[in-house]
Structure formats: structure tokens, C-alpha cells
Chain A
Amino acid sequence: MATAVASPPTSAPPRTSEEERVRAARRRDRINAVAWRLAGYAFFLGLWEFASGRLMDERLLPGPVDVLRTFGELWASGKVPGAFADTLTRIGIGFAIAFVVGAAIGILMQNRLLNGFFRDAVTIGVTTPGLIWALITAIIFGNRPWGPLIAIVLTTFALISVNVAEGIKALPKDLIDMAKSFGVGVVRRNRQIVIPHLAPYIFTGVRFGFSIAWKVTVLTEVFSSSSGIGFEMRTASQLFRLPEFLTWILAFYVFALLLEKVVLEVIERRFFAWRDTIKS
């Protein structure tokens, strides 16, 4: 949770009963929030388990217990880690290319003429759904390896460009001038002002870009690949193995959540802690 408990100031006055009450109320509120969240899980999983075999045929809608068991089996067989490795490699390479291309365009767009040159292409890049690129690249490239890569680059480069361009436009001229007036050199200025200023913009671009890249990759795999999570989903659905199909979806969620909640939030907390100090 973002509401990290602030450490009390060193010269804290003795806590009043009023403060105690506020604290207690906050704690109750937090417990409440967690309880409702857990209740949500219990309810929907329960509904699913209930529906499976009662409202619908078990083969059409296997229950969560069934899916979890299949998940365990697939994991143990090495199929899940293998498919993830394939998909992740694609995302890694594709997104790295998208990042470099996107950042370069974002920097070039500072020039008025080049801005005109790239602007509409970037707008199209931002607005076109990943599904379209996944389809187009599937049609053009079939299951050749660069199909998904091109789809990833096309769907995400513009997000990076837009964010980098915004960040550069908002460079804190007052701070840079301050540094110049004190005779601070250009290397230290870049390291201590320009990069920390751009970091949140780049982070936002990467964060959104990555979540889109992830979906597009799986989509292109569904359409055209011969390995990866999307491919496994397609195979499972074609073979009518619904527990397996749902397992892959489950794996997809678990991984996305892990990435979003753990990796990205840790990075955010580690590098952007100072932002909490800005008064709202």
C-alpha cells in the first residue's frame, strides 16, 4: 500500500488520545479494505466453482480447483516456464527495440520540422489497437520470428516517444540555469537534473508500453507463433482442452500481476521516493 506509515518526527510530542483514536480508525479502515478484497476473491472463485458442473458442463467450464491442478502439472512438466521464457524473450527484444526507436523519435521531435515529420506517425502508433498490428503482422509474416517483434515495436514505440518528448519539453530550465550560474559542468547537470527529471516520464512510458507489449505478444502468438504462451493457448483451445486453456490464462494473470505489483512498484518506490515529499 502507498500509505506507508510515516516515522514519527524525532521531537514528537507525547501522543494524545485524539491521535490514538485517529490511528486506530486508520488501522480499522485498512483491515476493512483488505477483508473486502479477499471477500471479492472468495466470492468470484466460489461462483466459478459453483457454476462449473452445475450450471455448465464441467468440460466446458472446469472449476478453479481443476485449473489449479492442471497448472501444477503443466508447471512441473516444464511447459509453463518454457512458454514464459519464449514469450518473455520476444517481449524483451521487441520492447528494447521499441524503446530505442521511441526515445530517439521523442528526442528528434524537439525539432519543429522533424516534429511535423513524425507527428502523425506517432499519433497513429498511439491510437492503433495492438490487435490490428498483431493481425497484420500475422498475415504478412506468418510464423517467422520477426512478426511478433514488429508488432511489439509498432504498438509501443509511440508511447515512449510521446513521453520522452513531453519530458524534454518540460525540462526544468530554472534548475539548469541555476546550475550554470554556479558553474556546474554539463555532465553533472545531466546526471543530477536532466536524468532525474526525465526518469518518471520514461518510467510511465515503459510501464504502459510494457503492459501493451505483453498483450500484443500473446496475441501474435495466438495468431501465428509456434511457441510461447499465446501458442499454447491456441493449441489448448484447438484440442478442446479447456482446463489447460484456462491454466494459461491464469498463468498470464499471475505473471502480469507479479510484474505490475512487485517489480514495477518496487522500482517506483526505490527511485521516486522523493515524490512523496511533495505536498499536494
Chain B
Amino acid sequence: MAEITVRNLHKEFGVGADKIVALDDVNLDISGHVFVSIVGASGCGKSTLLNILSGIETPSHGQVQITEDGRPAAKGYVFQAARLLPWRTVMDNLLFVQKDRSEQTRARCQRYLDMVQLGDKGRKYPGELSGGMQQRVGIARAFSTEPDVLFMDEPFSHLDAITARSLRAELQNMWQETRKTVIFVTHDVGEAVELSNRILVFAKGGHLADDIDMPLPFPRDVADPEVAVAKANVFRTFEQIGALAVS
């Protein structure tokens, strides 16, 4: 079981007059098979938090620990842009992040490509795919490592509404099947309410303003009155915190 512990996390960029506080004294515990969404206005430190959790950036102060049954956890990351190597084929892009190149690994990569409906595109170069297809390759790549913890930073925000919707459904299926811990950043409250067990609300200045439990069963239909009420509640919280500045 994955355990994420964040203690007194503080992150700033720049020095002197240019100093920006991206995260301010964040404390957090996440454990087990949960889908956690992080919402908040632009610039309130959501991506910075994911980058620190995933090890791309280091904290200014504070501790972060991510373990799976006591060992360091395996991590996967879906970025806002696909971030594929343009000089490698789709399949090679998936293989690039694997521990080995065995037949078994290849088969697994193929399975996840199939899952995002790109099973026949393994030999294509990213430049030959549409933006939405590239994003799906990025998603398949993150899943194909079968990480203990999966970070996703607005993975659907560049996609059209219909593609985004089908990918949300796929994501939910994969999450249910694989029982990972998912940390999901989004601007879209509806998306957060639809997908998550728990919603973290960040406010300007990078502090964690609210932590909302979402116990409704999956799959959730936006038209369902209970879901609509939950969504309205989350919106109300946002207004109180002032976290929903236009972004």
C-alpha cells in the first residue's frame, strides 16, 4: 500500500524582491487506493507540489516521503503536455521508461497502448499523431510502468470535450482495475467531483486551504442529483476560500 507523507513543505523560487512562495507549510497524508484531486487557481503551486512529490524538484524546507509497503514507491507522471521523445517511436517511448526490455514488458506496453486505443500506432513517431493521441500515449506510458503512485497534471485540459470525457472514463476504469494511488491536478471542479475520493483545495500563496472527502460511489454521473449537490458544495467552499480566481 502506498503512503505519502508531506511535512511542513515549503517551496520558494528566486531571491530577494523576485522571491515567489509557491508552497507554504503544506502538511498531507495520503494512503492506499485513493484518487486525490488537487484544485485551485492558476499559480497556487499545484504543479510545484507534483514536481516535488515526483522528485523533479526539491523542497526549500520540509520533508516528503513516498513509500510502498515501506520501500520507496515507483512513480509515474502524466504531464500537461505529452512530453514524448520526438525521435523515438510510440512503442520506444513507452519502453524508454521501463526497467527492462523483456518480451513481457513489451506485451505490457502493448496492452496499455491498446487500452488508450492506440494499439496500432506503436511504430509511428509522435509527430505523426494528433495532439490528443500524443496525450494518450503519455497516459499509456505512465500506466505501463504500473507505478504505485501516479501523478497527473491537468492531463485532459488540452483535449476536446469528447476525447477528454472518454479518457476520464478510461482513467477511472484503469484506476479501479490497478488499484493505484492517483494524485490528479485539475482546474475543472466537475472533473474533480466526478473522479475523486478526496479533493484538496489550494489557495493563492500555496497553502492547503481545504480537504474535502467525496464518499459517493463510482461511476458518478454528473446528472445525478447527489453528484450535483456535491459539486455545488465544493463550489461553495471555493468561494469561501477565494480559491476560484479566474484561471
Residue positions of A touching B, CB distance < 8 A: 174-175, 177-184, 188, 192-193, 196, 274, 277-279
Given contacts A182-B76, A183-B74, A278-B127, whether A192 and B96 have CB atoms under 8 Å apart is: yes
Q: Is B128 close to A, CB under 8 A?
A: yes
Contact A192 B88 (CB under 8 A): yes
Given A192-B85, A277-B125 in contact, is the A179-B55 Cβ separation under 8 Å? Answer: no
Q: Which residues of B contact A182 (CB under 8 A)?
A: 75-77, 97, 145
Within 8 A of A (CB), among B195-225: none
Interface residues of B in 93-133 (CB under 8 A from A): 96-97, 124-128
Q: List 30 A-B contacts (CB under 8 A).
A: A174-B79, A174-B83, A175-B83, A175-B85, A178-B83, A179-B97, A181-B55, A181-B56, A181-B77, A181-B151, A182-B76, A182-B97, A182-B145, A183-B74, A183-B75, A184-B96, A184-B97, A192-B85, A192-B88, A192-B96, A196-B85, A196-B87, A274-B86, A274-B87, A274-B127, A277-B126, A277-B127, A277-B128, A278-B86, A279-B127
B241 part of interface (Cβ distance < 8 Å) = no
- Pairwise interchain contact B96-A181, C-beta atoms closer than 8 A: no
For residue A179, which residues in chain B have a CB less than 8 angstroms away from its CB? Answer: 96-97
A183 CA to B74 CA in the complex, in Å? 8
**Min CB–CB distance B140 → chain A (angstroms):** 13
Distance between Cα atoms of A192 and B81 in the complex (Å):
19
Residue of B nearest to A272 (CB): B87
B8 contacts chain A at the CB level, 8 A cutoff: no
Which residues from chain B contact A181 at a C-beta distance below 8 Å? Answer: 54-56, 75-77, 151
Q: Name the residue of chain B whose CB is nearest to the CB of A199.
A: B87
For the complex, give the distance between the alpha carbons of A179 and B97 in Å. Answer: 7
Closest beta carbon of chain A to B88's beta carbon, Å: 7
Within 8 A of A (CB), among B120-174: 124-128, 145, 151
Chain A-chain B contacts (Cβ-Cβ < 8 Å), number? 53
Q: Which residues of A contact B127 (CB under 8 A)?
A: 274, 277-279
Residues of A within 8 A of B76 (CB): 181-182
Q: Which residue of A lies closest to B81 (CB)?
A: A174
Q: Which of A178, A179, A184 has the most CB atoms of chain B within a 10 A radius of its CB?
A: A178
- In the docked arrangement, what's the CA distance between A3 and B186, Å? 43
Chain A residues contacting B74 (CB-CB under 8 Å) are 183
B residues near A180, Cβ cutoff 8 Å: 55-56
Q: Chain A nearest CB: distance from B150 CB in Å?
A: 11
Cα of A192 to Cα of B96 in the assembled complex, Å: 8
Give chain B nearest CB distance to A44 CB in angstroms.
Answer: 41
A6 to chain B, nearest CB (A): 11
When the two chains form the complex, which single residue of A177, A188, A196, A274 contacts B56, counting CB atoms closer than 8 Å? A177
Q: Which residue of B lies closest to A176 (CB)?
A: B56
| Residues 56-70 of B at the A interface (beta carbon under 8 Å) | 56
- Neighbouring B residues of A184 by C-beta, 8 Å: 96-97
Which residues of chain A come closer than 8 Å to B88, judged between CB atoms? Answer: 192, 274
Tell me if A188 and B55 are in contact (CB < 8 A): no
Pick the contact of A178 from B77, B86, B126, B145 — CB < 8 Å? B77
Q: How far is the CA of A182 from the CA of B87 in the complex (A)?
A: 19
Q: With A and B bound together, what is the CA distance between A215 and B88 in angstroms?
A: 37
A-B contacts besides A177-B51, A184-B97, 8 pairs, CB < 8 Å: A175-B83, A181-B77, A183-B75, A184-B96, A188-B96, A196-B85, A196-B87, A277-B126
Q: How far is the CB of A202 from chain B (nearest CB, A)?
A: 14
The residue on A at minimum CB distance from B57 is A177
Find chain A residues with CB under 8 A from B79 CB.
174, 178
User: What residues of B have a CB within 8 angstroms of the CB of A177 in the complex?
Assistant: 51, 56
Among B56, B85, B126, B145, the residue within 8 A (CB) of A193 is B85
